Homo-oligomer: A and B are copies of this chain.
Amino acid sequence: MTDTPVEESLFQIIHCYHEYAAREGDVETLSLEELKALLTDNVPRFMETLGRKEPYYITQLFQAADKNQDNQICFEEFLYILGKLVKDYHLQYHQQLCAHYCTQHSLY
């Protein structure tokens, strides 16, 4: 069975998680450094557009996601961060649509 574009997207996100989790320590979880690298490299809009580039933001995000407080983000905990990412990109998606509509209809 060939993957659909949505399935490819889901695998892409999961693959990214594992690529960074494997960098050091436990290969199945993200350390704070691994999370920082993952977000900086892969979702720069999330990091830059919303002015969240400050180191303390990632630390706060890490702590909020680390439900069992073992100082690592497991895949279940990564879903919390993914939820934030998707909400964020949803907002940006609408902003892009709006800008596109305004350009098309010469509203600027």
By a beta-carbon cutoff of 8 Å, the part of chain A in contact with chain B is 1, 3-16, 18, 41-45, 48, 75-76, 79, 82-83, 85-87, 89-90, 93
In the complex, chain B residues whose CB is within 8 Å of the CB of A9: 8-10, 12-13
Q: For the complex, give the distance between the alpha carbons of A89 and B43 in Å.
A: 21
- Copies of this chain, complex-wide, total 2
Looking at the assembled complex, report how far the CB atom of A87 sits from the nearest CB atom of chain B, in whole angstroms.
7
A26 to B76, CA, bound (A): 32
CB distance from A32 to the nearest CB of B (A): 19
A13 and B4 CA atoms in complex are apart in Å by 11
- In the complex, what distance in Å separates the CA atom of A86 from the CA atom of B77? 12
Q: Which residue of B lies closest to A6 (CB)?
A: B42
